[in-house]
Amino acid sequence: GAGVSQSPSNKVTEKGKDVELRCDPISGHTALYWYRQSLGQGLEFLIYFQGNSAPDKSGLPSDRFSAERTGGSVSTLTIQRTQQEDSAVYLCASSPRGQIAFFGQGTRLTVV
């Protein structure tokens, strides 16, 4: 595709349910990032994939959060047993190494 695609664009889930958020990066981009942004707040780093290197998971807030990137392309962010404080916009970005990062439009997650 022409840009980074995220799905779904909006997700409402009940507290305690698991959710999966998908990111399709730009083809050929080796770096893929997940961030989240709570209402009126800055970007909080979650996880970073760079090529075949081990991902940097240092930003994941708890062990309920996990992410994988299959075949160096599509990435899925999974949140288990969602809590209300998980409500935020989850943003994915990709870039060639050391170059401009392109962001998707985000997934707005609401936990009720």
Partner 1 sequence: KQEVTQIPAALSVPEGENLVLNCSFTDSAIYNLQWFRQDPGKGLTSLLLIQSSQREQTSGRLNASLDKSSGRSTLYIAASQPGDSATYLCAVDTGRRALTFGSGTRLQVQP
Burial class, 36, CB count within 10 angstroms (exposed 0-12 / middle 13-18 / buried 19+):
buried
Of the candidate residues 56, 64, 73, 87, the single one contacting partner 1 (CB under 8 A): 56
Q: What are phi and psi of 90, to 5 degrees?
A: -100, 120
Decide if residue 103 touches partner 1 (CB under 8 A).
Answer: yes
Decide if residue 106 touches partner 1 (CB under 8 A).
Answer: yes
Radius of gyration of the chain (CA): 13
Q: Within its chain, how far is the Cα of 78 from the centroid?
A: 9
Q: What does the block give as tokens for 90? A: 């989850």
Of the candidate residues 91, 94, 109, 111, the single one contacting partner 1 (CB under 8 A): 91
| Size of the residue set binding partner 1 (CB under 8 A) | 23
Of the candidate residues 2, 54, 100, 112, the single one contacting partner 1 (CB under 8 A): 100
Decide if residue 39 touches partner 1 (CB under 8 A).
Answer: no
Decide if residue 5 touches partner 1 (CB under 8 A).
Answer: no
Q: What are phi and psi of 15, to 5 degrees?
A: -50, 135
- Residue 57 CB contacts under 8 Å (≥ 6 apart), including other chains: 47, 67
Of the candidate residues 35, 75, 88, 111, the single one contacting partner 1 (CB under 8 A): 35
Residues that bind partner 1 (CB under 8 A): 4, 33, 35, 41-43, 45, 47-48, 56, 58-59, 91, 93, 98-106
